[in-house]
Structure 1
Amino acid sequence: MVKLYGQKRSISAALAIGRAAGVPHLVFLTDEGRAPDPVGVCQHLPAGSIIICRDYDHPDRVGFAEKLRAVTRTLSQFLLVAGDPGLARAVDADGLHLPQYMLENPPALTAFGLVSAACHDHASLVRAAQLGLDFALVSPVFETASHVGEPALGVHRFARLVKNASIPVVALGGIHAGNAAKLKPFQLMGVAAIGAFIPNV
């Protein structure tokens, strides 16, 4: 009963962030350094969440992606593999996530049901829309523990960047329960996070 209570509480905490931001989707990006138990994070996110398998330097990235594929399928979540279409196909992922640099010369995308891209500026947002991608992760909105000391967009610059975007936008970077409501006016597709979704039970 204690474990079940903890799981429900963590799911409620993740949903609270989504509700505060007024978004329908939650996106978790794997990061072995900050979230060493990504399967545990997935288990504390609701069905329909999108999991992006990053960890490009993982010593067993194939096995890592296979493990994520198994848990996301069980939990009715979507799995995207970042930067490796071959691996995405090999583990039967739901789609592919493109780092920004791959937007200039993207791989064939027709094999993937869901494709996203990391976008840090207006030009990349335009390019992602031209390619017909499903959504763009725009970051960093707030200062983030993943890139300590690097400047964040801030709410006002983020607003200008996404105002006329012709592609659904997911906000990423330093989002948590205390600042998620600042994103509600932008009618985003979702919010993405690492630390904010790690269960604290």
Structure 2
Amino acid sequence: MPRSHPLPKIWLMTDARFGDDQLRAIQRLPSRSGVVFRHYHLATQQRRAMFAKVLRICRRRGHLLLLAGDERTALRWHADGFHQRSRGQTALLHSAPVHNAREIASVKRGNPEVLFLSPLFDTSSHPGARPLGPLQFQRLAKLGKSADIIALGGMSRQSAQMLSPRIIHGWAAIDAFRKKSA
């Protein structure tokens, strides 16, 4: 898929935990970052209205915006791509969430350009979930080598700097961008 700029290295995953600071957090991102719009908790009309607000900010700041959901909805909503485990060729940027070798093998058949591999470290998004840790993360990242790997799960600017750019393309977070953590 042709893009107007390279794939971002920094990604924000939208989340209800941002509360009223969600839009400001997106504005605070470095220009040409990426945003994965989730907000599954909202009814369709509310979700679309919030997406429209996020889209305006993303266009102004040069951010890439992916809709967590199907390609058809992403096209209708004018997203740059979609974030979902699916199969088949697409005209949009396709990313997929993966957590283990089985999921990587499954989604690779759909040729996603980007894999969000998680959780690398302990994360408040999934309390009690066992993190992959650096060695297991690297092993899994190598399995997904046909796609760009985005590290997710307990990530921050500091932890991202510890990872080899030969293994990951970038990193994504929620808490690292929340006002109290920013």
Q: Same fold (TM over 0.5)?
A: yes
Q: Distance in 1 between matches of 2:177 and 2:89?
A: 29
Name which structure has the greater RCO, CA cutoff 8 Å, separation 6+.
Answer: 1
> Aligned AA for 2:130?
P
Q: Distance in 2 between matches of 1:58 and 1:111?
A: 27
Deviation of residue 186 (structure 1)? 4.7
Q: Distance in 2 between matches of 1:178 and 1:190?
A: 12
TM-score, normalised by the number of residues in structure 2: 0.84
Q: Which has the larger radius of gyration?
A: 1
The answer to whether the 8 A contact 1:35-1:194 is kept is no
Check if 1:29 corresponds to 2:29. no
Q: Which runs of 5+ in 2 are unaligned?
A: 1-6
Closer, same or farther in 2 for the Cα pair 1:93/1:175, shift >3 Å? same
Q: 1:16 aligns to what?
A: none
Q: Distance in 2 between matches of 1:185 and 1:109?
A: 27
Q: 2:114 aligns to what?
A: 135
> Aligned AA for 1:154?
G
Percentage identity across paired residues of the two chains:
33
Check if 1:191 corresponds to 2:171. yes
The answer to whether the 8 A contact 2:141-2:167 is kept is no
Paired residue total: 172
Question: Residues 89-148 of structure 1: CA distance to partner in whole angstroms, max 9, x if unpaired?
Answer: 2221101000xxx43xx4x65242x11000111122233333221110000000001111
Closer, same or farther in 2 for the Cα pair 1:34/1:145, shift >3 Å? farther
Closer, same or farther in 2 for the Cα pair 1:155/1:36, shift >3 Å? farther
Question: Residues 16-66 of structure 1: CA distance to partner in whole angstroms, max 9, x if unpaired?
Answer: xxxxxxx96101100012454221111111122110000112131010111
TM-score, normalised by the number of residues in structure 1: 0.77
Deviation of residue 194 (structure 1)? 0.5
Q: Distance in 2 between matches of 1:111 and 1:179?
A: 33
Deviation of residue 178 (structure 1)? 4.3
> Aligned AA for 1:153?
L
Q: 1:171 aligns to what?
A: 151
Q: SS in structure 1 opposite 2:162?
A: helix
Q: 2:28 aligns to what?
A: 44
> Aligned AA for 1:45?
L
Q: Distance in 1 between matches of 2:140 and 2:90?
A: 28
Q: 2:139 aligns to what?
A: 160
Q: 1:74 aligns to what?
A: 60
Q: Which runs of 5+ in 1 are unaligned?
A: 1-22
Closer, same or farther in 2 for the Cα pair 1:26/1:160, shift >3 Å? same
Q: SS in structure 2 opposite 1:147?
A: coil
The answer to whether the 8 A contact 2:141-2:168 is kept is no
Closer, same or farther in 2 for the Cα pair 1:70/1:177, shift >3 Å? closer
Q: Which has the higher helix share?
A: 1
Q: 1:88 aligns to what?
A: 74
